[in-house]
Chains A and B, each alone.
Chain A
Amino acid sequence: MATFLARRLVWLPVVLFFVSILTFFLGLYGPGNPINIMVGLKANPETIERIKAEYGFDQPVYQQYFNYVFKAVQGDFGYGLVKYRDQPVGRIIAERLPVTIQLNIAALVVGVIVGIPLGLLAGLTRNSWFDYSVRFLSLIAVSIPLLFLLPFLTFIFSRRHDLVLNAANLQFAIGPFLPMVGGHWDGILSTKVLLPILIESLGIVAVLTRQMRAGIIETLGQDYVRTARAKGLRERMVLLRHAMRNALIPIATILTLSIGGLVEGSFLVENWFGIPGVGQLALDAFTAREYYIIMGITLIIAVAYVVANMAADLLYPILDPRIRSSK
Chain B
Amino acid sequence: MSKEGSNRGLIILVVVLVVALVGAICVGAGLLLVFLGQPSVGPVAQATAVPGRTGVAPTRAPSTGGSGTTNQNALHLPGTGDPPTLDPALTSDAESAVYVVELFSGLVTLDQNLKVTADLAEKWSVSDDRKVYTFSIRKDAKFHDGRPVTAQDFKYSIERAANPATTSPTADTYLGDIVGVKEKLSRKASAVSGVTVVDDYTLQITIDAPKTYFLAKLTFPTAFVVDKNNVERGGRTWTDKPNGTGPFKLKEYVRGQRIILARNDNYHLEPKPKIEEIEFILGGGSFMTMYENGDLDAAYVGQTDIERVTDPASPLNKELTVYPELSTFFVVFNVRKPPFDDLKVRQAFAMAIDRQKIVDVVYRKIPILAESILPPGMPGYSDPQNKIKYDPAQAKKLLADSKYAGKLPEITWFTVGGGGASAENIQAMTAMLKENLGINISIQQTDWATFLGQLHDPANIQYQMFDTGWIADYADPQNFLEILFKTGSNENWGGYSNKQVDQLLEQAGLEKDSATRFKLYSQAEQQILADVPVLPMVFSRTYVLTKSYVKGAIYPPLIIPRLKYMSLSK
List residues of chain A with CB under 8 Å of any chain B CB.
Answer: 31-34, 36-48, 50-51, 54-55, 75-77, 79, 82-91, 93-95, 97-99, 101, 104-105, 108-109, 112-113, 116-117, 120-121, 124, 163, 168-169, 171-172, 176, 179, 181-187, 234-236, 239-240, 244-245, 248, 251-252, 255-256, 259, 274, 276, 287-289, 296, 300, 303-304, 307-308, 310-311, 314-315
Contact = CB atoms under 8 A, between A and B. Distances in A.
B6 A184 contact: no
Contacts of A32: 447-450, 452-453
A175 B281 CA distance: 19
Nearest to B39: A75
A70 to B, nearest CB: 14
B452 A37 contact: yes
B13, B58, B287, most chain A CB atoms within 10 A = B58
Contact of A90 (B14, B37, B165, B239): B37
Interface stretch (B82-90, B202-210, B348-356): B82-90
Contacts of A240: 5-6, 9-10
B313 interface: no
Nearest to A192: B285
Interface of B: 1-3, 5-7, 9-10, 13-14, 17-18, 20-22, 24-29, 32-33, 35-40, 49, 53, 55-58, 61-62, 65-66, 81-82, 84-85, 87, 90, 92-93, 164-165, 167, 169-173, 185-186, 236-237, 239, 255-257, 281-287, 289, 302-304, 447-450, 452-453, 455-458, 468, 470, 473, 483, 490-491
Nearest to B56: A94
A181 B287 CA distance: 11
Contacts of A169: 304
Contacts of A124: 1, 3
B534 to A, nearest CB: 14
B473 A307 contact: no
Given A87-B237, A287-B447, A185 B285 contact: no
Nearest to A179: B285
A37 B53 contact: no
Contacts of B85: 85-86
Contacts of B185: 46, 50
Contact of B36 (A36, A93, A289, A308): A93
Contacts of A300: 29, 32, 36
Contacts of B285: 171, 179, 181-182, 184
Nearest to A32: B449
A189 B35 CA distance: 29
Given A88-B38, A112-B17, A307-B28, A36 B256 contact: no
A311 B17 CA distance: 10
B169 A38 contact: yes
A248 B13 contact: yes
A90, A276, A310, most chain B CB atoms within 10 A = A90
Contact of A77 (B38, B56, B65, B283): B38
Given A108-B22, A307-B27, A43 B87 contact: no
Contacts of A50: 164, 167, 185-186
Contacts of A90: 33, 35-38, 55
A98 B53 CA distance: 12
Contacts of B3: 121, 124
Question: From DSSP, what is the main secondary structure of chain A's interface residues?
Answer: helix
B62 A186 contact: yes
25 contacts: A32-B452, A37-B452, A43-B173, A45-B457, A51-B167, A75-B35, A83-B82, A84-B82, A87-B237, A113-B14, A116-B14, A169-B304, A183-B284, A185-B256, A234-B2, A235-B2, A239-B1, A251-B17, A255-B17, A289-B449, A296-B36, A300-B32, A304-B25, A307-B27, A311-B24
A184 B21 contact: no
Contacts of B22: 105, 108
Contact of B169 (A47, A91, A101, A248): A47
Given A79-B236, A94-B36, A94-B56, A44 B490 contact: yes
A320 to B, nearest CB: 13
Contact of A252 (B6, B17, B55, B455): B17
A303 B38 contact: no
Contact of B5 (A45, A187, A236): A236
A94 B36 CA distance: 8
Given A176-B289, A236-B2, A307-B24, A42 B491 contact: yes
A121 B1 CA distance: 11
Contacts of B169: 38-40, 43, 47, 51
Contacts of B236: 79, 86, 88
Contacts of B304: 163, 168-169, 172
A256 B17 CA distance: 10
Contacts of B281: 184
Contacts of B62: 184-187
B256 A248 contact: no
Given A90-B33, A171-B286, A109 B18 contact: yes
A95 B55 CA distance: 6
Contacts, number: 254
B36 A85 contact: no
B61 A33 contact: no
Contacts of A304: 25, 28-29
Contact of A89 (B36, B165, B491): B36
A46 B491 CA distance: 13
Contact of B84 (A51, A85, A117): A85
A75 B286 contact: no
A182 B283 contact: yes
B428 to A, nearest CB: 17
A154 B314 CA distance: 29
A93 B236 CA distance: 17
A28 to B, nearest CB: 13
When A and B form their complex, which 10 residue pairs have the shortest distance between CB atoms, in order from nearest? Answer: A183-B283, A32-B449, A90-B36, A184-B284, A307-B28, A311-B24, A236-B5, A240-B9, A98-B58, A39-B169
B289 A31 contact: no
Contacts of A46: 172, 185
B165 A101 contact: no
Nearest to B59: A98
A91 B81 CA distance: 18
A307 B25 contact: yes
A184 B58 CA distance: 14
Contact of B167 (A55, A108, A287): A55
A234 B32 CA distance: 47
A122 to B, nearest CB: 12
B110 to A, nearest CB: 18
Nearest to A305: B28
A185 B24 CA distance: 25
A94 B286 contact: no
B256 A183 contact: yes
A255 B456 contact: no
Given A101-B25, A186-B66, 18 more contacts: A36-B456, A38-B92, A44-B490, A45-B458, A89-B38, A94-B36, A94-B56, A99-B58, A179-B286, A182-B285, A184-B285, A236-B2, A239-B9, A244-B9, A245-B13, A255-B17, A256-B21, A276-B256
Contact of A183 (B173, B282, B457): B282
Nearest to B470: A41
